[in-house]
Amino acid sequence: MALPSLSLVLKIATAPWVILKTTFEYYVTGTVYTQTDPEFDSLAKNLNVATAIHLAQGIRGRDADLVMGLMYSYFARYKNMPAVLGLPHYGEKVVDEETLAWLVKPEGAKKALLYFHGGGYLFPFAPQQFAGMIGVWYAVDSEKRQDLAIAMLDYLVTSHEKYYPTQIYEAVKAYRQLVDQGYEVIPMGDSAGGNLALAVARFAAYPTEAEAQFSRYTDFNWDFLPLPPPKTLVLIAPWVHTDKGAAIYPGVNHDGDFIRLSVNSKGDLYITGLDRKSVAPFVDFNGTTYEDHWAKVPAFVDGAILYIYGERELLRGSQELFAKEKDKGTFTTKMQPGGIHDAMFVVDVLDINLKKGMADVVAGKHRSKFNFGAVGEFLDSRL
């Protein structure tokens, strides 16, 4: 097993100070979280997030496999949870690879949510994301979710020296495999996964441009045959612009956000060895225009897009700019008051990532949470 990086070791060594500081603030002055977001209603949540953010600052690419595993291994980890028992086709491969598998596939479902995880294109699939997607299915109305399957993709990441356009190739391939099985596919992504979902939407809607962009990457077996572009998108804290998309937002306290300004360097890593201008239409979406880049994507024309971001996240400026310029009436835009980056899979999921929490999920109690409630309500309207 590889040893952790020195930066991670230093963060582990100083974690007790973060625990003491957070505990003191929680009981005496209030933490930055309790002061801004009602979801932080326990000391445990405050300690969990504060410590995770502290450690995350020390994690380097070589540490990724120490803190996260393969998506397929999570199926065994969660198989005895109350929310998982009885899920039809749980853990089955969509075709023949463990990297694309069904979380749930009701018989006769006509729509399939295809989930792309976040992580700055650097980190693999996290268990919190797996648990969160269980929560997504149960956030949908009990009758309507019988028409919704959920597949998840464990795409390769830059910590394994897999760079652009590897992730787009894998995501488009997964999208096509679901289409070939007769599903109307709803791409869903958080953070970098949102960036990937948008790239897939553009690939499907602009096949000529896609072929011109990607055919030069001959290491991949591209298929440029027509694909139906998505009518619906679910974007959670999307990383819409990987080139310096993180920035200080005037008047906002970013203390305790789950990302740092250094996330911009992950955007550079993603396109290692390439000229940014040449790949920008599939990577940096603040630089695109509705008329030239989105007018052929049904979700942007007469479909629907759920667009959630946090009030206190460093990506807020680029997220709001994208929505302002590209929303022609199909966006359901929700800013979470006091929310940090990707709060759905960082904060909201904490209550459901245990056995008791999973029982509450089955009962639908998690729909009271900002993000799960918004996702459930939106998907109800599309089913």
Task: Pick the closest to residue 224 from 214, 239, 234 (CA basis).
Answer: 214
The whole-number pLDDT of residue 354 equals 77
The whole-number pLDDT of residue 262 equals 85
pLDDT in tens, the chain (383 residues): 578 888 889 989 999 999 999 999 999 999 999 999 999 999 999 999 999 999 888 887 777 777 777 898 999 999 999 899 989 999 999 999 999 999 999 999 999 999 999 999 999 999 999 999 999 999 999 999 999 999 999 999 999 999 999 999 999 999 999 999 999 999 999 999 999 999 999 999 999 999 999 999 999 999 999 999 999 999 999 999 999 899 999 999 999 999 989 888 899 999 999 999 999 999 999 999 999 999 999 999 999 999 999 999 999 999 999 999 999 999 999 999 999 999 999 999 998 887 788 989 999 999 999 999 999 999 999 99
Tokens 């853990």 found at: 91
- Distance (Å, whole) CA 78 – CA 134: 10
Per domain, the residue ranges of the chain are 1-66, 68-381
- Distance (Å, whole) CA 334 – CA 374: 8
The whole-number pLDDT of residue 317 equals 98
> Which helix (H) or strand (E) segment is 113 a member of?
strand 111-116
Strand partners, 308: 236, 334
pTM of the entire predicted model? 0.96
The answer to whether domain 68-381 has CATH 3.40.50.1820 is: yes
Contact 192, 125 (CB under 8 A): no
**Token couple for 260:** 């740092």
**Token couple for 143:** 């009758």
- Tell me the H-state helices in the chain: 6-27, 43-56, 64-67, 71-78, 127-139, 166-180, 192-205, 207-214, 263-270, 276-279, 298-301, 316-326, 343-346, 355-362, 370-382
**Token couple for 53:** 């953010």
